[in-house]
């Protein structure tokens, strides 16, 4: 084994991802190589620093004002393409638990957080597929139901993802319209108190919720509300199975 190869194995060794033989080999190397012996402490220090606040970049307070001022200067025509570029994803959630209106807030936060995480990790879908006949059975196999996974006009299906939200599994068929992407999640049974679309905003994301056929849906997006409503109506128009 070359020195470079040994060095590359130190990181997985510290993550306890190596088998016994490889671990013994790395342990022996660490006792004889002063340069590599420094790596465990460095990795430990990195692990401690990464989740901390020291690396979070807070935008200057003036940024929001300057963006709003620029949008006002450009006028309404220029806003649409800007939002079109920024628009990244909508998550539609089907809930299998009973959520009363007052309990929506933590759920909404979790939905947005899950959506943001999926973007940070550049992992919008677990199953990348534009084929409804693949995505629907994929959901049914992992979940006791599947939300509509139709390929809507302007919102092509890109796949599905399962998230664990509020300790309830949720599923996300993804439907991206060019240039934006859309996604769909599901969890819980119907909240019968709902009527029509329920609107929320959180951290700059638009959310629309509704219930139908025993399922509660949430759409999450950084598109504008009108576009998101169009998407929601398309989902609602799908005939019940």
Partner 1 sequence: MDFREAILLPEFEGLSYKEIAEVTDDPLGTVMLRLSRARPQVQRAILKRRGARP
Please state, in angstroms and rounded to a whole number, the distance separating the CA atoms of residues 133 and 130: 9
- The stretch near partner 1 (CB under 8 A) out of 64-72, 96-104, 122-130, 220-228 is 122-130
Q: Distance (Å, rounded) from C-alpha 220 to C-alpha 223?
A: 9
Shortest Cβ 239–partner 1 spacing (Å):
34
Tokens of 106: 């933590």
Residue from 27, 31, 47, 80 binding partner 1 (CB under 8 A)? 47
From 59-67, 113-121, 134-142, 182-190, give the range in contact with partner 1 by CB under 8 A.
Answer: 113-121
The residue (of 163 and 227) whose beta carbon lies closer to partner 1 is 163
Segment interacting with partner 1 (CB under 8 A) among 50-58, 93-101, 184-192, 198-206: 50-58
Kindly list the distances between the CA atom of residue 33 and the CA atoms of 8, 21, 239, in Å, as whole numbers in the listed order: 14, 18, 67
**CA atoms 174, 175, 178, 180: torsion sign:** negative
Quick check: 48 binds partner 1 (CB under 8 A)?
no
10 binds partner 1, rule: CB under 8 A: yes
Choosing from 1, 17, 101, 201, the residue that interacts with partner 1 (CB under 8 A) is 17
Per CB under 8 A, does 51 bind partner 1? yes
Per CB under 8 A, does 37 bind partner 1? Answer: no
Residues 6+ apart with CB under 8 A from 85: 179
Q: b vs e for 154-163, b when ≥16 Cβ sit within 10 Å of the residue's Cβ?
A: ebebbbbbbb
Q: Does 55 bind partner 1 (CB under 8 A)?
A: yes
Does 8 sit near partner 1 (CB under 8 A)? Answer: yes
User: By the 8 A CB rule, do 20 and 50 touch?
Assistant: no
121 binds partner 1 (CB under 8 A): yes
SS3 of 179-236: the string is CCCCECCECCECCCCCCCCEEEEECCEEEEEEEECCEEEEEEECCCHHHHHHHHHHHH
Task: Give the nearest distance from C-beta 61 to partner 1 in angstroms.
Answer: 21
Our CB check for partner 1 shows the closer of 55 and 240 to be 55
With tokens 């690396």, the residue in question is 55
Query: Do residues 91 and 202 make contact, with C-beta atoms less than 8 angstroms apart?
Result: no
Q: Smaller CB distance to partner 1: residue 123 or 199?
A: 123
Q: Which residues in this chain contact partner 1 in the complex, by CB under 8 A?
A: 7-12, 15, 17, 42-43, 45-47, 49-51, 55, 117, 120-123, 126
């Amino acid at each position: 084994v070359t020195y470079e190869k040994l060095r590359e194995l130190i990181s997985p060794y510290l993550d306890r991802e190596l088998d016994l033989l490889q671990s013994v080999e790395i342990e022996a190397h660490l006792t004889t190589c002063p340069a590599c012996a420094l790596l465990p402490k460095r990795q430990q220090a990195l692990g401690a620093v990464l989740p901390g606040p020291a690396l979070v970049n807070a935008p200057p307070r003036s940024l929001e004002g300057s963006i709003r001022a620029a949008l006002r200067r450009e006028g309404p025509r220029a806003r649409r393409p800007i939002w079109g570029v920024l628009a990244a994803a909508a998550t539609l959630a089907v809930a299998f638990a009973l959520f009363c209106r007052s309990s929506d807030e933590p759920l909404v936060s979790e939905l947005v957080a899950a959506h943001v995480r999926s973007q940070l990790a550049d992992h919008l879908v677990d199953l990348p597929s534009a084929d409804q006949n693949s995505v629907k059975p994929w959901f049914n196999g992992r979940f006791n139901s599947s939300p509509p996974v139709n390929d809507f006009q302007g919102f092509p299906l890109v796949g599905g993802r399962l998230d664990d939200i509020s300790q309830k599994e949720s599923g996300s068929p993804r439907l991206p319209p060019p240039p934006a992407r859309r996604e769909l999640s599901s969890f819980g049974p119907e909240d019968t108190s709902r009527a029509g679309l329920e609107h929320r905003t959180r951290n700059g994301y638009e959310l629309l919720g509704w219930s139908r056929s025993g399922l509660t849906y949430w759409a999450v997006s950084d598109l504008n509300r009108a576009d998101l409503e169009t998407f929601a109506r398309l989902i609602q128009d799908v005939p019940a199975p």
